Chain A
Amino acid sequence: MSNAETNKSAQRNTRRDFFARTSDGLLGAALAQLMCGDFFGGPAALGEEHDAATGVPPVYNLKPKQTHHPSKATSVIQLFMNGGPSQMDLFDPKPVLNRLDGKPFPGNVEEIGNQGAADIGVMMGGRYKFARHGQSGTWMADVLPHTAQLADDICLINSMWTDHPNHDNALYKIHSGRLFMGYPTLGSWTVYGLGAENQNLPAYVVLNDPLGPPKNGTRNWTAGFLPPVFQGTRFRPTGSPILNLKPQYQQPSEVTETARGLLNRLDAIHLKDRPYYGELDARIESYSLAARMQLSAGEALDLSRESSHTHQMYGVDEKWTDSFGRRCLLARRLVERGVRFVQIFLEEQPWDSHADLADNHRGACQRTDKPVAGLLRDLKQRGLLDSTLVIWGGEFGRTPTTQKSADGYSGRDHNMQAFTSWIAGGGVRGGTSYGTTDDFGHSVVENPVSVHDFHATILNQLGLDHQKLFFSRSGLDERLTGVEPPRVVTEILS
C-alpha cells in the first residue's frame, strides 16, 4: 500500500470509532442513525474500508445512495390491479365497439393475439358510461366516480403494451421487465439503486390482501439474482406485520430482558476476541434493528392514530372499501416515514373478467376507487404527492371481443397489445392522456409505451438512469430494462 493510501485510510473513521463516540453522545443521534445503514446490508467485512483492489467481496446494504441525477420523486406506491383491467371500459372509450356490439370481429381473429382462436367471441361494447372530467377533460367511466375527481392529477398512459398474453409471464414482465421468473422486480431495483431513507423499517414493503396472495405470490416482489436484502418485505395488515416480529411463544418480559442482556454480553465477549470482523458488528446491529423494528413497525401500522376524517377519506370501516382503504392509508404512513417502495395487491386476480365483466369490474372498482382517490387527496394535502409516484395498473389489458365462457358471452379475454396504466405525482404531468389505440382499443397506433419504457420513466423520476443501474453477474451487466435501450417518456413529465 502506498503512503498516500495509508494516510487516507488512517483518516477514515472506522465504524468501531464511530460507535465508540456515538455512545458517549459526541456525534449525536442523527449520525448514529446514518451509521445503522452501514450494518443493514450484510457482510461488512473489515475490508470494506479498503479499496476494491484488496479483493474483499462487495457489500450490499440499504445505506442511502447517490442518485444519478436530481430526483423528482423519492418513493413509489404501486397500486397493482391484478388480472388486467379493461382499458376500453374504464379509461379509453371506443364508441365503435358499442356500434359493433354482438357482431363478429372485423379483422382476422388470429390478430387478437391470444394463442387460441377457438374461444374468441363477438365484439362487445363498453359496459359503462364515459364522461370527461376535470379541466383536462380526461375520459373516465362512471364506475370510477372518486378517481375521476382527481383527473387533473393523473396521467393516463393509454398506449401500454406487453409481450405475453398469459398472467404468469405478463406479471413477471410488468414487475421485473422479463417474461420469466427469477429476475428482480422494479421495487428491488429501486432499493438497490437508492437504498433506504428509514433504517428502522424495511425499504421495500408489500401490502397484500388479507384474503390471500396475488397470482404469482412472492414472485411479485422477489429480488431475483440481486442479494436478498433487496427483496420486498410483506407486511400483514392484521396481527404481527412481519413474520416473527413478536415472539410466537409466551414469556414474561422480564425473561426477555434477561435473555437479551445475556446475549449482548456474550456477543460482546465473542466480538472482543475477534477484532476486525465487521460482520460480527453487523450481526449485533441486526439484533438491535430487529428490536427497533418492533417499535417502528407497530407505530407505522397503527391506524388508530389517524383522524376519523382521514379514515372516511379512504373508506376505512366501510363495507366494500375497508380492506383496500386500510392498505392505502398504511402506504401513506409508510412513505411518510421514508419507506422507498410500497406495493399494494388484491387477492388473486379480481380484474380478470372472462365472464360477467360488467358486474365484476364494478365490484373491483367499488373496492378500490374511493381508497385510491383518498390516497391521492391525502398525499396531496400533506405535500407528499410531489415526491411520491403513485402507479395504477395491471399486467395487460382486455380484448374488444367477448370470450366464450360458462356464463355465455359476457367477459373479455387478455390483451397484450394495448392497456392503460396511470401515474400520478412525482413530477409527472397530471391531466394528461398519453398515446392512442385503434378504433377497437385493441392495439396501439401512436406513442407506444413498452414495459421497459414505463420502468425507465419511473426510474428516471427517482433520479436513476436505467442504463447506469445494473448488476454484474456471470460476466453480464443485467439491467431492469434489458438489452435494447428503452425510452424515457419525457412527454408526460412536467
Chain B
Amino acid sequence: MKSERLTILIFVSCCLVPCSEGQADEAMPVFQSDIQPLFSRKCGKCHSGKVQKGGLDLSTMRGIRRGGESGDASVADSVDDSLLWQMIDGGDMPPEGQPMLTDKERALIRTWIAGGARSESPADFVEKELNQHDVLPIVLLRCTTCHGARLKQGGVDLRTPTAMRKGGKNGPAIVPGDPDASLMMQRIESEACPPRELLLKYFVKRPPVAEVEVLREWIAAGAPEFDVLPDVATTEPDPFVTDEERQHWAFQPPVIGHDAASIDDFILKRLQENGLTFSPAADRDTLIRRAYLDLVGIPPSLDEWQRWRDSGESVWYQKMLDHLLASPHYGERWGRYWLDLAGFADSEGGVSADPIRQVAWKYRDYVIGAFNSDKPYDRFLIEQIAGDELLDHENSPVVTAEMVENLTATGFLRMGIDQTGSRTMNFVPERLGVIGDVINVLGSGIMGLTIECARCHSHKYDPIPHRDYYRFKAIFQGALDEHDWLTFKNRSLDVDTAERHKRVAQINPPLLSRIRKLEADTKKALTALQTETLRQHYPTQSEADRRETLRSLRIADNNRTQPQRILVEKLQQAEVLPDSEQPSSVLAARRAVDDIHRETAGVRRQLEPPLTIRALWDRGEPSPTYILRRGEHNKPGRLVGPGVPSVLTNGRTPFDVQPPFPNGAPKTGRRLAFGRWLTQPNHPLTARVMVNRVWYHHFGTGLVKTLENFGAKGELPSHPELLDWLAVNFVQRGWSIKDLHRAIMNSRTYRQSSHVTDETRKHDPGNRLLSRMSLRRMDAEALRDSLLFISGRLDDTSGGPPDPVSVNRDGLVSADSRAGGRWRRSIYLQYRRTEIPSMMDTFDYPEMGPNCLSRSVSTVSPQALMLMNDQHVHNLAVSFAARVESILDRRGHDARGDQVDTVYQLALSRPPGDMERQLGVQTLNELHRVWQEKPHAALETYCHTILNSAAFLYVD
C-alpha cells in the first residue's frame, strides 16, 4: 500500500535525528531521577496511580510502557512514534488551564524518549506475552468470513483457539509450538488463503507481514490462552473518569426547586433582573398563524381562521391548540424534525449511483404515527433502539401489528449513508463508518453528547475515554458486526401480519405483470425516440451507424471505443437541443415515452406495499469488540464489553444485560438494556435534550443553544432551572410531547409579540432572555406546503411510498404531480440524496451527513429567483387567483377591494392593513390596464406578488 510505504519512509528519515542526539550517553536522562519527579509535578494530577485519565499512569515505568486505554505505547522506538511525545509536542498536553511544560522540560522529555526511555530498574522491561486476543482480531479481519459463523470452509471454524486446534477435514488448523506444521500458517504464507479470487467477493484483504508474524509467534509460543475478561463497568470505582468530572451540570440528573411554578416564572425572573418585562401579547390573527405554522406547518383554512377569530370563548386559544394537536397534520410537521435528527433519506448514498432505499418510507410513516398518537417518548426511543428485542416475532404463532411496528421503528438505526451494498465498498472500514454514523446520531441527537469524538482517542474536552466509545459500539455488535456483516441489500426482513401477506399475494401479481409489460413498452418507445432523433437531426447518417449508436448506449461509457463515443455524443448533442429546435416527430416520440412513464407510475401506485422492513435486528452471535487504536480497523487494542459512557453513571454500576427471550430467538439484549438505561426517569440527558429540542422548534433557539452538545464545549443553558423544570415535568407527565407543546404554547412567553423595542434591543439583543417572540422565516417544508395549500393544490393523502421527482434538462428537481394536478406535503416527497427537490434545497433543506440537528437559515438570491421566476410557483399563484375568484363569485362580490381582502385572508390569515389594501387596489387597477386582454391575469400577478412578500415568508 502506498500510504504505508510512505509512512515508513518518513519514520526512517525522522529516526536519524534522535540517533545523532544519542551520542552523549553520559548525560542521558533516567526515569527515576529526571523524569518521574517532573511527571509527578506536571502530569500527576490526572495520570497517577490513583487517577488514570485516559487509562494512563505516568508514575511508574510499568504504567508508561503499558500506555493509555487505547493501547498505544506512550514511549516507542522513536520519538515520533511515541504517543506521549505527540501529545506534548502537539500542545494537547498538559491541557489548557493546567501548568505548562517549560521548553527545558520538553527538551528533557524528548531526549529521554529518544534515548530509549531509560530506567534504573531493568525489571521494567517486560516482554509482552502474546495471547489469543492478539490473534483473534487478525483472524476476524482476515479469515472468519470463510471460517466462522456463516461459512465453515473445509469444516474449519477459526473463531476460538479451541476450534483452531480442532481444525477441519484436513486436520487441525494450528499445531501449538510448531507454526511450520500449522495448516493455517502454511495456507497464509503461501497466499493460498485468503484466496485471491475471493478477496473482493468477501471484502477481505491479505494480512500484512506484521500480522503474519504475530500469528506465527503466538503458535510458536504454544498458542497460549489467558483468561481475559472484557473491560466493562464494575462495582469498583472507574479510574478513567473522576467524580469531579461527573459534576458538570449536564451529567447530573435534573432537579426542580421548591418555588417553581410555571415557564413564565422562570422567564420573567431573568427579564426583571435585566430591567425588562414581557412584551405585550401578539394579536389574535398573529397567534392563529403562528400556532398553525408551528404545529401543523400549514396556515388555517378560511373557515378555521374565521372560527378562531370570531370565537367569543375565553379558552379559544386552548381549544385551537387541542384542535391542532389532534390534527393528522401535526405528525407530518413534528415528525419531519425527528427525521432530520435521524438523518432520513430515500437513498443509500455513498456511491454516485445512490441506490434508492425502497422502503425507508415505512420508518417515516412510523415516526409520523408516533407523533400523532403521542407515543410516550421513552417508549418511542426504546422501539427505535431495540424494537427487535421487545417481542419475539420469530417464535410467535402470529405476527402482530405491534411486532411489525417495533421492527419498523429500528429503521432509526439504519438511516446513515450505507455504501456496503456496492461492488467494491464493503470492507471493514466502510462497515465501521456505518456503525460510526449510528453512534453519532444517537450521541448527538438523543444524548446531546459528542461521543463520536472518542472514536480515535479519548474525547478532547469531555470525560469520554476512548474505551467508552468501544463499549458503546459493543452495544450494537449483535446487530452491526463488522466481521459478520449484512449489506443494505440483504439487511431487511419480510415480516408482516397475515392480513398483509394475503393482500400482497392477491393484489400485486396482476399489477406486476402489467408493469413488466409497460417496462418493455418503455424500452421500445425509447428506441423509437432515439432512432427518430438521429433520423431527423442527421438525415445523412447510415442506418448502420444509427444501429451502432443504440448498441453503444448499452455499453458502459468507459468501455466504449472512440468511434462509439463519438456516435453517442452526436445523439446527446441532438437530445439537449431545446424543444423549439426539435421536429414535431421527435416531440411526439417523447410524449409517447412520457405517457408510458405516467401510466407505469399510476400502476405502481396501486401496488400493495412490499412486506419488506428495513430493520435492524440482533443476530445473537456478536464478535468480540476490541478498542481500535487511533480508530484504525487493523490496530486492535483491549477487549471490551458493552457499556454506556461512564460519566453518565456513578462509575460503580455494571451495565446490566439480559437476553430478552431466554427460550426463544437468540438475542444479546444489549440494545434493549441500553434503551432501558437511556429512559430511566432520572437520566441526566435524555429528557433535557428532548425538551430542549422541542423548545428550539417553538422559539428558534434552544435553552441550550448547542442542541447536539451538552458537554464541556456546549453552551450553558440560558435558563438552567427552567430546562430542568421542563425535563422533570416531561418525565412525570409520562414523557408526553403533546403535553409539553401545551405547556410551552400556553405560556405568556410564547404568546408574546415579536416586535422589538429600543429597550428590548438594548438589554436583550440576541433574545436569549426571551423578551419577545422571534420572527422566523418559514422552513422549506412550511413554505412549499403553504404555497400548495393556499393555491388549493395540496393533496392531503398521508403515508405510503414517496412521490417521485423528475430532473429536467436545466437540473431543476421537482416533484411529479399526482392525480388532478395536486401534490402531497413535502414530507412525502422522495429524498434521494443526489436529487433533493430544488425548492427544498434552495430553502435550506439539509445535507444529511449523517443527520441534521438544526438547519441553517440562509437568505440568498436563488431564493428570490425561485419565488419570482419559477414556473411551478407561478402556476400555483394562478391557481390561488382562481380560488380567490371562485370564493368571491359564490359570495357575489367582485370588487377589487374584496379581492385584496380575500388574498390576505387566505395567504396571511389576516385582513390587509389600510395601506396594504389601498396599494392592493391601486396595483390591481394598474395591472388590469396593462393586462387588458387577459382579465384574470391581473389578479394572478397580484397573488404571485403576495406569495413573494416578506409578510408571507416570515412568521411573527
Among B3, B558, B573, point to the contact of A211 (Cβ < 8 A): B573
Could you say which residues of chain B place their CB within 8 Å of the CB of A28?
none
- The distance from the CB of A97 to the nearest CB of chain B, in whole angstroms, is 19
Query: Which residue of chain A has the shortest Cβ distance to B956 in the bound complex?
Result: A274
Q: Which of A217, A227, A254, A266 has the most B CB atoms < 10 Å from its CB?
A: A266
Interface contact B858-A258, CB-CB below 8 Å:
no
- The distance from the CB of B333 to the nearest CB of chain A, in whole angstroms, is 22
- Bound-state CA distance A290–B862 (Å) is 7
User: Assuming A249-B871, A286-B864, is B849 touching A211 (CB within 8 A)?
Assistant: no
Which residues from 92 to 119 on chain A have a C-beta closer than 8 Å to any C-beta of chain B?
110, 113, 115-118
B539 part of interface (Cβ distance < 8 Å): no
Could you say which residues of chain B place their CB within 8 Å of the CB of A41?
858-860
Q: Which of A218, A236, A244, A290 has the most B CB atoms < 10 Å from its CB?
A: A244
Which residues from 340 to 382 on chain A have a C-beta closer than 8 Å to any C-beta of chain B?
347-350, 352-356, 359-360, 362-363
Query: Which residue of chain A has the shortest Cβ distance to B452 in the bound complex?
Result: A474
Could you say which residues of chain A place their CB within 8 Å of the CB of B930?
252, 254-255, 258
Could you say which residues of chain B place their CB within 8 Å of the CB of A290?
861-862, 864-865, 868
Interface contact B766-A270, CB-CB below 8 Å:
no
Query: Which residue of chain A has the shortest Cβ distance to B196 in the bound complex?
Result: A117
Q: What interface size band does chain B fall in? A: 35 or more
User: Assuming A180-B417, A245-B865, is B919 touching A265 (CB within 8 A)?
Assistant: yes
Interface contact B941-A259, CB-CB below 8 Å:
yes
Among B711, B856, B954, point to the contact of A227 (Cβ < 8 A): B856
Interface contact A181-B849, CB-CB below 8 Å:
yes
Interface contact A476-B856, CB-CB below 8 Å:
no
Could you say which residues of chain A place their CB within 8 Å of the CB of B433?
180
Query: Which residue of chain A has the shortest Cβ distance to B631 in the bound complex?
Result: A483
Interface contact A115-B199, CB-CB below 8 Å:
yes
- The distance from the CB of A107 to the nearest CB of chain B, in whole angstroms, is 13
- Bound-state CA distance A50–B762 (Å) is 10
**Residues 707-737 of chain B: 1 if any A CB is under 8 Å from the residue's CB, otherwise 0?**
0110101110010000000000000000000
B923 part of interface (Cβ distance < 8 Å): yes
Which residues from 132 to 159 on chain B have a C-beta closer than 8 Å to any C-beta of chain A?
none
Could you say which residues of chain B place their CB within 8 Å of the CB of A227?
856, 858
Could you say which residues of chain A place their CB within 8 Å of the CB of B859?
39, 41-44, 279, 282-283, 286
- Bound-state CA distance A352–B558 (Å) is 5
Could you say which residues of chain B place their CB within 8 Å of the CB of A275?
756, 761
Interface contact A45-B766, CB-CB below 8 Å:
yes
- The distance from the CB of A408 to the nearest CB of chain B, in whole angstroms, is 11
B48 part of interface (Cβ distance < 8 Å): no
B559 part of interface (Cβ distance < 8 Å): yes
User: Assuming A244-B870, A475-B450, is B561 touching A407 (CB within 8 A)?
Assistant: yes
- Bound-state CA distance A275–B759 (Å) is 12
B490 part of interface (Cβ distance < 8 Å): no
User: Assuming A266-B951, A283-B950, is B756 touching A181 (CB within 8 A)?
Assistant: no
Query: Per DSSP, are chain A's interface residues mostly helix, strand or loop, or mixed?
Result: loop
Of the stretches A53-61, A131-139, A306-314, the one at the interface is A53-61
A35 part of interface (Cβ distance < 8 Å): no
Query: Which residue of chain B has the shortest Cβ distance to A213 in the bound complex?
Result: B811
Which residues from 894 to 933 on chain B have a C-beta closer than 8 Å to any C-beta of chain A?
913, 915-916, 919-920, 923, 926-927, 930-931
Interface contact B558-A349, CB-CB below 8 Å:
yes
Of the stretches B305-313, B528-536, B562-570, the one at the interface is B562-570
A8 part of interface (Cβ distance < 8 Å): no
A161 part of interface (Cβ distance < 8 Å): yes
A215 part of interface (Cβ distance < 8 Å): yes
Interface contact B849-A243, CB-CB below 8 Å:
no
Could you say which residues of chain B place their CB within 8 Å of the CB of A282?
859
Among A60, A248, A353, A416, point to the contact of B858 (Cβ < 8 A): A60
B6 part of interface (Cβ distance < 8 Å): yes
**Residues 330-356 of chain B: 1 if any A CB is under 8 Å from the residue's CB, otherwise 0?**
000000000000000000011110000
5 A-B pairs whose Cβ atoms sit less than 8 Å apart in the complex = A118-B197, A217-B834, A218-B811, A348-B557, A475-B713
* B residues in contact (CB < 8 Å) with A: 1-3, 5-6, 196-197, 199-200, 206, 349-352, 417, 419, 424-425, 433, 440, 444, 450, 452-453, 456, 461-462, 555, 557-563, 565-566, 569, 572-573, 576, 578, 701, 705, 708-709, 711, 713-715, 718, 754-756, 761, 765-766, 768, 775, 777, 810-812, 833-834, 838, 841, 844, 847-850, 856-866, 868-871, 874, 913, 915-916, 919-920, 923, 926-927, 930-931, 937, 941-942, 944-946, 948-951, 953-954, 956
* A residues in contact (CB < 8 Å) with B: 39-47, 50, 54-57, 60, 83, 110, 113, 115-118, 161, 163, 166-169, 171, 180-183, 210-213, 215-219, 222-225, 227-229, 233-234, 236, 239-240, 242-249, 251-252, 254-255, 258-259, 261-263, 265-267, 269-271, 273-277, 279-280, 282-284, 286-287, 289-290, 293, 347-350, 352-356, 359-360, 362-363, 405-407, 416-417, 443-444, 448, 474-476, 483
